[in-house]
């Protein structure tokens, strides 16, 4: 595995004394599905306020890894450690604590079709965190306003654009006050003209210090905002480092080669 500096630019004294706490650690995560190994001994640690970006070709294991992090899929081996405490997948209080503190944003929104935008955000506050109906409604409105959708609060998913649906999903995750948000290709199901509105919300979260792990093919976004880029292929981390290191002209990295191919496909070159 190729290793590069994990922060922007050349290493500096500050890199060695990063005092931000490690919020989430994944140790040696391995997963087999249908007899095929999807993840091979993958490890990653995320400090408070970092944005780690996962990239790589289809089938690299990015989505499976994120689902293992949130224990939506149980890994066959390895550990998840949240704020220094090992998560026990078969111990319900430990699992519920992880799910409350590690939010998940999916490709396809996963909204309830029979609930309005406001109700989609409020429902977990009532059922999981024990908010009253009024408290949940007020908090839901605050989170919808945060993602620019307060005027769409009374609409159902069928009445919203794809970008608006994804912003409702982000508001729903934020309402739980997570320590970390996982984003699995959050713009991949959107028409190109709608991608920007979702990335703008994620950019705002990053600027406000939200800790995130994001799988994406939006390389200009990753170049501008990622603390570290993680390149995955065939279930392994192949390269990792700062955007400046991995994507520098003439870097000769697997990441740079992959990104150039993506750009060529986008422009039809």
pLDDT > 90: percent of the chain: 74
The reply to whether 235 falls in a domain is yes
pLDDT for 9 beyond 80: no
**Least confident stretch, 11-15, 58-62, 76-80, 241-245:** 11-15
pLDDT in tens, 151-184: 999 999 999 999 999 999 999 999 999 999 999 9
In angstroms, rounded to a whole number, what is the distance separating the alpha carbons of residues 236 and 202?
26
Residue 104, classed as helix, strand or coil, is strand
Residue 142: band (very low, low, confident or very high) from pLDDT cuts 50, 70, 90: very high
Domain that holds residue 262: 2-107+180-267
Q: Single out the residue of 34, 126, 10, 26 nearest to residue 78, CA to CA.
A: 26
pLDDT > 70: percent of the chain: 91
Mean pLDDT score of the chain:
90
- pLDDT for the residue numbered 148: 95
Which tokens go with 154?
Answer: 């009374």
Domain count, the chain: 1
Encode 48-72: b = buried (16+ Cβ within 10 Å), e = exposed. Answer: bebbbbbbbeeebbbbbbbbbbbbe
- pLDDT for the residue numbered 18: 76
pLDDT for 54 beyond 80: yes
- pLDDT for the residue numbered 205: 95
The reply to whether 172 falls in a domain is no
Question: Long-range contacts: 125-129, Cβ < 8 Å, 24+?
Answer: 125/175, 125/176, 128/100, 128/176, 129/100, 129/176
pLDDT for 16 beyond 70: no
- The CA distances from residue 221 to 7, 91, 243, in Å, are 16, 38, 10
Residue 261: band (very low, low, confident or very high) from pLDDT cuts 50, 70, 90: confident
Q: Average pLDDT in the 38-48 region?
A: 96
Q: Who has greater pLDDT, 134 or 107?
A: 134
Q: Single out the residue of 238, 77, 112, 98 nearest to residue 182, CA to CA.
A: 98
Helix axes 117-127, 162-174, angle to 10 degrees: 20
In angstroms, rounded to a whole number, what is the distance separating the alpha carbons of residues 95 and 78?
15
Residue 72: band (very low, low, confident or very high) from pLDDT cuts 50, 70, 90: very high
Q: Average pLDDT in the 195-222 region?
A: 94
The reply to whether 174 falls in a domain is no
| pTM score, whole prediction | 0.89
In angstroms, rounded to a whole number, what is the distance separating the alpha carbons of residues 131 and 141?
14
Side-chain-side CA neighbours of residue 121 (13 Å): 34
The reply to whether 64 falls in a domain is yes
Detail the DSSP E strand segments found in the chain. Answer: 2-3, 22-33, 36-47, 51-55, 77-82, 85-86, 102-105, 180-184, 211-215, 228-233, 236-241
Residue 225: band (very low, low, confident or very high) from pLDDT cuts 50, 70, 90: very high
- pLDDT for the residue numbered 3: 52
> For residue 250, how many other CB atoms are within 10 A of its CB?
6
pLDDT for 14 beyond 80: no
- pLDDT for the residue numbered 96: 87
Which tokens go with 113?
Answer: 């079709």
The reply to whether 261 falls in a domain is yes
Q: How big is the chain, counted in residues?
A: 269
Looking at residue 32, which CATH number applies to its domain? Answer: 3.40.50.300
- pLDDT for the residue numbered 8: 37
Residue 269: band (very low, low, confident or very high) from pLDDT cuts 50, 70, 90: very low
Terminal CA-CA length for the chain? 30
Three state DSSP letters for 186-229:
CCCCCCHHHHHHHHHHHHHHHHCCCEEEEECCCHHHHHHHCCEE
The reply to whether 54 falls in a domain is yes
The reply to whether 121 falls in a domain is no
- pLDDT for the residue numbered 2: 52
- pLDDT for the residue numbered 62: 96
The reply to whether 102 falls in a domain is yes
- The CA distances from residue 200 to 15, 166, 178, 197, in Å, are 28, 12, 19, 5
């Amino acid at each position: 595995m190729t290793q590069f500096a994990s922060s922007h630019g050349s290493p500096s004294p500050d890199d060695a004394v990063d005092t931000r706490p490690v919020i989430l650690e994944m140790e040696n995560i391995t997963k087999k599905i249908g007899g095929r190994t999807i993840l091979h001994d993958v490890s990653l640690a995320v400090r408070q306020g970092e944005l780690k970006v996962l990239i790589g070709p289809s089938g690299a294991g990015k989505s499976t890894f994120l689902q293992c992090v949130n224990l939506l899929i149980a890994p066959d081996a390895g550990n998840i450690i949240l704020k220094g405490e090992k998560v026990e997948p078969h111990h319900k209080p430990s699992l519920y604590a992880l799910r409350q503190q590690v939010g998940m944003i999916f490709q396809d929104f996963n909204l309830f079709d029979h609930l309005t935008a406001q109700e989609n955000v409020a429902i977990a506050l009532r059922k999981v965190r024990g908010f009253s109906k009024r408290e949940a409604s007020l908090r839901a409105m605050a989170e919808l306003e945060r993602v620019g959708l307060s005027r769409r609060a009374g609409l159902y998913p069928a009445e919203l654009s794809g970008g608006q649906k994804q912003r409702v999903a982000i508001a729903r995750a934020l309402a739980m006050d997570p320590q970390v948000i996982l984003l699995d290709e959050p713009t991949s199901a959107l028409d190109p003209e709608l991608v920007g509105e979702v990335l703008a919300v994620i950019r705002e979260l990053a600027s406000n210090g939200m800790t995130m792990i994001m799988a994406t093919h939006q390389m200009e976004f990753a170049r501008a905002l990622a603390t570290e880029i993680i390149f995955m292929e065939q279930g392994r981390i192949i390269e990792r480092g700062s955007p400046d290191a991995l994507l520098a002209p003439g870097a000769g990295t697997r990441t740079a080669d992959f990104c150039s191919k993506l750009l060529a496909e986008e422009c039809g070159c």
